[in-house]
Amino acid sequence: MMRALFSSMLFISLSPGRDQIFPEDSSTASPTKKKRGKTQQQVFRKLSTGTPASVHKESTHQNTAMSRSNTDKPLPNLDAFLQTDPYIGPYEGDLRRRYKQFAERLMQLEEAEGTFDRFTQSYQSFGIHRRPDNVLVLREWAPGAEALFLTGDFNSWERESHPFTAKEHGKWELHLPPIEDKSPAIEHLTKLKFQHLRPPRPSSLRIYEAHVGIGSPEEKIASYNNFTRDVLPRVKDLGYNCIQLMAIMEHAYYASFGYQVTNFFAASSRFGAPDDLKVLIDTAHSLGIVVLLDVVHSHASSNTEDGLNFFDGTDSCFFHGGFRGSHLLWGSRLFNYSSWEVCRFLLSNLRWWMDEYHFDGFRFDGVTSMLYHHHGIGNYSEYFGLQVDENAVIYLMLANHTLHTLYPECITVAEDVSGMPGLCRSIEEGGLGFDYRLTMAVPDKWIQVLKEVRDEDWDLENIVYTLTNRRRGEASITYAESHDQALVGDKSLAFWLMDKEMYTNMTALISMTPVVDRGIQLHKLIRLLTHSLGGEGYLNFMGNEFGHPEWLDFPREGNNESYRFARRQFNLVDSEHLRYRQLNAFDRDMNLTEDKYGWLPASQVTAKYTFLNTSFNLQ
């Protein structure tokens, strides 16, 4: 059963409460500790070797379990990391300590919950669930509450007629009997079953970054159904084999681009029903396209009416209390990753999106903010100093361990600007377990070149250095521009290159102007250089493949709630007389050529480049 699919809400009466924090070491008793059964089936990638004990099957999640970690074993494969990055040598002790903390945390969760698999599937017991007799069982965690009540359409919004019963460790439970005709008191709205299996994980990852709501030329919020019908065929034709969906997690403020999440266990209702999203993903799978969710576990909306903030009346239910629990730049709340129940909530959230919607992986937003107490980075020593939020690091290790153990084909991508060493190495090698990181310096380099350097003065050696300057043995997703460059206040590459002439001189019915000629050629050159040298995967934001002429600005008070710039004008590329078709065709041919020759997964470039003449002339 899924949460947030009905018209009802919780009403909470408050009193101070306490959270459950992970013990400092494995000798400290864990909450709700249970003895382990001796006959549990164990399907687990052993920490000592990284070898799967059994292949996970999607239909048998409930029968899988994580084996107990041996916290005395050292890091098994650290040598490869040390040999690749000599600067990491002085911090070998930090890596071993971090791995030990991860193994201990895994063991604590497992001993307390029976199996780690059960712990990460807590969405099956928390929230709202229907029993075979149509009794609804509701379970929530609100340690600071004095009383909880359920109210909604089913009881005419009577605030105190349906109280929860307090359980141990801040948990609350309510059983809601069926109505007179024996049907559930609250109707469940989802009925769809998936028809297609997940496609195999691509060896060359070509990502189409997309936002469902702007996927139409019309000035409105587009739907899941629109995306399935009109956008998916374009993605397939362009040669992309992966879609990264933004703003899917429910968010009250549309202009937040989906990064101020108010409900982590709900797909955004402004785009349609949950089943519509499932159809979108199922259709993508039928086309051989994998789908990633842009997941936001780095922070949460500060809303109190419809978000997690002050959920139980305190500022420290899911978040750090006081100053530490607020992100001053983002105006949002920061999770307390040392909390037992926060860990349950977030790991279960990942499982829920994988199991209920069949996503193929995640792009983790705001990883840099999670890794460091100061939410940024200074010098190399800060990768392992007191500035690092070790609890957030351990959470990310647990998340990657969970996903890659139970879903071996799962893809995880980290948005990190700090260059944390080992971020995309396996946990057994001393890393955090991500598959890819974003090369966030590359788009900045292209904007700097276009703004500050004349065409004839381009320093190709410096450009190639930027494109190839990444950590060895750690895969990267490269891009010339993403949604960040499309947002209002910035300009896309096409706009930097051709500016106002994109409105008047992109038609083939007149002679091509020098500005448009230069812009089209450099747009192609920049994307090809980035695609071929910048990483082990490639990303493009929707519309930029054909040089979308305008920025992205969601309706807000500052633009009179206009949808004019909250759309993608695919009609431009469909018009045969407009030169946007040339850029679109080049993007398709570039992807199809990569699909044929496979330069993305090829070995990282290690040779030094020598240029006899680092300038060139477009003429």
Active site (catalytic) residues? 365, 415
Helices (H) and strands (E) in the chain, counts: 17, 18
Give which of 336, 335, 344, 352 is closest to 265, Cα–Cα: 352
Give the count of beta carbons closer than 10 Å to the beta carbon of residue 368.
Answer: 19
Q: How many CA atoms lie within 13 A of 425 on its CB side?
A: 24
Query: Could you tell me if 502 and 547 are in contact, meaning their C-beta atoms sit under 8 angstroms apart?
Result: yes
**Distance of alpha carbon 257 from alpha carbon 248, whole angstroms:** 10
Of 559, 497, 600, 469, which Cα lies nearest the Cα of 205?
600
Query: SS3 sequence, 86-131?
Result: HHHHHHHHHHHHHHHHHHHHHHHHHHHHCCHHHHHCHHHCCEEEEC
Neighbours of 591 (CB within 10 A): 22
Q: How many residues does the chain have?
A: 619
Q: Which amino acid is at 548?
A: H
The closest of 562, 538, 417, 545 to 488, measured between CA atoms, is 562
Q: Are 429 and 421 in contact (CB under 8 A)?
A: no
Helix H or strand E segment including 242: strand 242-246
Question: Encoding tokens for residue 127?
Answer: 């929230």
Strand partners, 339: 21
Pairing of strands 136-141, 171-176: antiparallel
532 to 166, 480, 517, 570: CA distances (angstroms): 59, 11, 23, 26
